[in-house]
Amino acid sequence: MIKCVFIIIYVLLGTMLFQISCFSQNQLYIDSLNKCLKVSKVDTQKVNLLNRLGLAYDNNNSFKELSYSEEALRISNTIGYKNGKLVALNTIGNAYNGLGDYETAKEYFVQLKEFASKITDSLAYSKAICNLGYSNLKEGNFDEALRWYIDGLKLADKQNDLDGKANILNQIGQVYDYKRNSKKAIENYQQAFEIYSKLNDSLAMAKPITDIGNSYSQQFDFDNARKQFELALRIYKKFNDKDGISSCLNNLGIVYYESGEKQKSLESFKEVLNIAKNIGDKSGIATAYMNIANFYLREGDYPESMKNLESSLSIAKGIKAKTIILPCYLLISEVSEQMGNINKAYEYHKYYTSIKDSIMDEESAQIIEELQAKYQFEKNQKEIELLNKDRQIQKVEITKQKTQKYAFLIGFSLMVLFLLVVFYSYRKIKTQKIVIENKNEILNQQNEEITTQKDEIEAQRDEIEAQRDLVIIQKEKIEEIHKDVTDSINYAKRIQEAVLPISSDSRSVLGEHFILFKPKDIVSGDFYWTTKINNLLFISVADCTGHGVPGAFMSMLGISFLNEIVQKQEIQKASHILNILRLEIINALQQKGVQGEQKDGMDISLLVINTDTNEAQWAGANNPLYIVKSEKLKAESEELSTLDFQLYELKGDKMPIAIYPKMNDFINHEFSLQQGDCIYLFTDGYADQFGGLKGRKFLYKQFKEVLLNNCNKSMLEQKEILESEFENWRGEYEQVDDITVLGIKI
């Protein structure tokens, strides 16, 4: 046992000594460079020393990296040192990236690209366009980033630059991650990792390892994410890479929290904040503040959460980092709502939606294909313009050549004529023969030149036509893809409507009723369902997870299971129907109750009425049921009476139709109904709508008042009043969720 303890201590000490050794060696290297710098002259040697010092502080101290590199750039411009200028421009751009000032970074990378192009340095040019892609990626300009990455990949393949290719593949993986396509992201990260493995670049391998961990984390696979982050952290600590250490600790903080290690999570975020402040990484500081704020939000400390969010948002706005601003807006909206500041909650939710729509309104794989097609289209258009311009120049040149030839022919003919006159009597026959031979030779030569030019023009015309046809085909393909996506969603709407009881015949079993059904998007995550078996009338209204296409899929699944349970299995008890429906949903979605799995399900209200006896039973998952009853109240005089209405609420069980920590049997509520009673089943979309003069939610209290005040009217009038009240309340605000209200009068 003692021996084992000594071995463990030995290993730990060895690891610590190795890390200290790496740090010390880097510091010795920096000290050595500074000594040489003090005695160097203002020449190329001094520029090289300054550039090396700048690179030595890369990922550790962006301010010092910037200071040395700017001095190297100044001297390089003074003495005309091209290579020194290239290195300095690239390092300055990287330093501003490290400080989170992506706009300034892009300015230096553009200078690097233009200067590299001017002196035809292909390697420096490749670095410039790759770094431009990275700066745009960090700003959230994914379209622009992708354009630079496509150019970078072409250059890397052409130059056989494996290191550059791996770097670009890794960054394209990040584009896929931001687009929520983890599968594609991991494929690109693994390709980058394989290239770095072949190059035996241990430090570079840590980057795709970290990004693979991020992809696992987005899929809630925290066990695999933790393994990747811890592996990358060991590599970064080995090389004392503070930027990499900060990134890994930040990611591990999220994993720790999800694994229940809350104190460890907060310590990781605070350590990230200290590292980011020490190296001047504004993006890292903003991210750390945001993660600390999210920690306090989840722990219920809303003032501390808001304090950290305001710090994060201020820094993120300063560096225009949309990828940090976006989640900040969402968290501020959530914290404001928890603190009771509804106006601020709605305002920041609007900010979040506007940025989210500009970044993530397309499907990941489809977007990249369309961007690449668009890029190729623009490229071909430019080539066609150049070809047309060359063709015009050639036409002018041909016209000029013809004019010169005609002038030459006229002059030559005059000269021959003069010779013929002079030597007419002397060598009449011989001169005529020479003239004829010369004319034939000139004509043959001209014919050959004209034939050659004609062939060249025809070849150019054919090439231009082929390029035009290719562009048209690509344009038609993009239009076809867009049409297919829209048609698919509209077709999904028709499929959903086919399973809903929309027709008069299918709804006739309800008697006097109304259904207010307003999807937020083309298709809906809400659904209503009814059927009648003998004297039992079954009515249900449900709200599935999400809205749009994902919610529509869940609604069709719910309708299918209800038909199976009630019509085929002949289950008649409301609570029993919900118990079986929950099991069917869990089995269909393969929910096991483990961390990281999908949390899809539905909230539902299910009513069963015996139409012969008016006896009813009801069960609910999170959703309630409203019943409005009427009764005569006598006044002091027997001749006077008034009709009064009372609203009763049956509350559903606080459990969804899905996997859940508490999964008791649903409660079956039994009660009697009387002629004239009104019953209402609904989802939360109506009450949650923002609107009114102050932009607040409509809320259930106001919803009850509308129902109670109008219950004596016909069902058709009630529907019109509900719809009018909703639109008046919503005003210019966007509809926030799918809405379904079903009313029935006994």
> When comparing pLDDT for 644 and 472, which is higher?
472
Half-sphere exposure of 78 (CA within 13 A, CB side): 11
* Residue 371, φ and ψ in degrees, nearest 5: -65, -45
Most confident of the following: 71-80, 357-366, 578-587: 578-587
Give the mean pLDDT of the chain. 82
Answer whether residue 612 shows pLDDT above 80.
Answer: yes
> Which is the CATH superfamily of the domain at 504-745?
PPM-type phosphatase domain (3.60.40.10)
Least confident of 274-278, 299-303, 322-326, 733-737: 322-326
Answer whether residue 264 shows pLDDT above 50.
Answer: yes
Least confident of 3-17, 304-318, 344-358, 429-443: 3-17
**Tokens of residue 338, six digits:** 């928890």
Half-sphere exposure of 525 (CA within 13 A, CB side): 21
> Residue 542's closest CA among 562, 513, 570?
562
Banded model confidence at residue 635, pLDDT cuts 50, 70, 90: very low
Least confident of 121-130, 274-283, 410-419, 561-570: 410-419
Least confident of 120-129, 199-208, 499-508, 710-719: 499-508
Q: Identify the pLDDT of residue 490.
A: 67
> When comparing pLDDT for 225 and 371, which is higher?
225
Least confident of 428-442, 458-472, 557-571, 663-677: 428-442
Q: Identify the pLDDT of residue 642.
A: 35
Least confident of 140-154, 279-293, 562-576, 717-731: 140-154
Answer whether residue 398 shows pLDDT above 70.
Answer: no
| 504-510-512-518 Cα dihedral, nearest 10 degrees | -70
Answer whether residue 620 shows pLDDT above 60.
Answer: yes
Q: Identify the pLDDT of residue 387.
A: 54
Q: Identify the pLDDT of residue 302.
A: 93
What value does the mean pLDDT take over residues 457-467? 80
Banded model confidence at residue 94, pLDDT cuts 50, 70, 90: confident
The edge-to-edge listing of strands for the beta sheet with 615-621 is 526-533, 536-544, 602-610, 615-621, 669-672
Answer whether residue 22 shows pLDDT above 60.
Answer: no
What DSSP designation does 665 have?
P
Banded model confidence at residue 558, pLDDT cuts 50, 70, 90: very high
Banded model confidence at residue 432, pLDDT cuts 50, 70, 90: low
Answer whether residue 464 shows pLDDT above 60.
Answer: yes
Answer whether residue 598 shows pLDDT above 70.
Answer: no
Q: Identify the pLDDT of residue 422.
A: 61
What value does the mean pLDDT take over residues 690-703? 94
Banded model confidence at residue 301, pLDDT cuts 50, 70, 90: very high
Banded model confidence at residue 678, pLDDT cuts 50, 70, 90: very high
- Alpha carbon of 400 to those of 97, 298, 439, 455: distances in Å? 54, 79, 21, 19
Q: Identify the pLDDT of residue 559.
A: 95
Give tens-digit pLDDT for 125-179: 888 888 898 888 888 787 788 888 888 888 888 888 888 888 889 888 888 887 7
Residues in the chain, total:
746
Q: Identify the pLDDT of residue 435.
A: 58
Contacts of 543 (CB under 8 A, 6+ apart): 525, 526, 602, 603, 604, 623, 683, 684, 685, 738, 740
With H, G, I as helix, E, B as strand and everything else as coil, classify residue 636: coil
Answer whether residue 658 shows pLDDT above 50.
Answer: yes
Q: Identify the pLDDT of residue 714.
A: 94
Banded model confidence at residue 600, pLDDT cuts 50, 70, 90: confident
Q: Please give the Cα distance from 556 to 212 (Å, whole number).
A: 35
Q: Identify the pLDDT of residue 137.
A: 83
Q: Are 585 and 602 in contact (CB under 8 A)?
A: yes
What value does the mean pLDDT take over residues 515-528? 92
Answer whether residue 361 shows pLDDT above 70.
Answer: no
Q: Please give the Cα distance from 739 to 515 (Å, whole number).
A: 10
Q: Identify the pLDDT of residue 405.
A: 65
Q: Identify the pLDDT of residue 543.
A: 95
Q: Please give the Cα distance from 616 to 639 (Å, whole number).
A: 35
> When comparing pLDDT for 660 and 546, which is higher?
660
| Pairing assessment for the beta strands 739-745 and 513-518 based on DSSP bridges | antiparallel
SS (H, E, C) 350-379: HHHHHHHHHHHCCCHHHHHHHHHHHHHHHH
> Mind giving me the DSSP string for 149-210?
HHHHHHHHHHHT-HHHHHHHHHHHHHHHHHTT-HHHHHHHHHHHHHHHHHHT-HHHHHHHHH
Q: Identify the pLDDT of residue 276.
A: 87
> Residue 26's closest CA among 200, 247, 240?
240
Would you kindly state where each structural domain of the chain is located, as residue ranges?
A: 1-31, 294-364, 374-495, 504-745
Answer whether residue 40 shows pLDDT above 70.
Answer: yes
Most confident of the following: 195-209, 273-287, 630-644, 698-712: 698-712
Contacts of 499 (CB under 8 A, 6+ apart): 556, 559, 560
**Tokens of residue 400, six digits:** 């000029």
> When comparing pLDDT for 514 and 498, which is higher?
514
Largest CA distance in the chain: 153
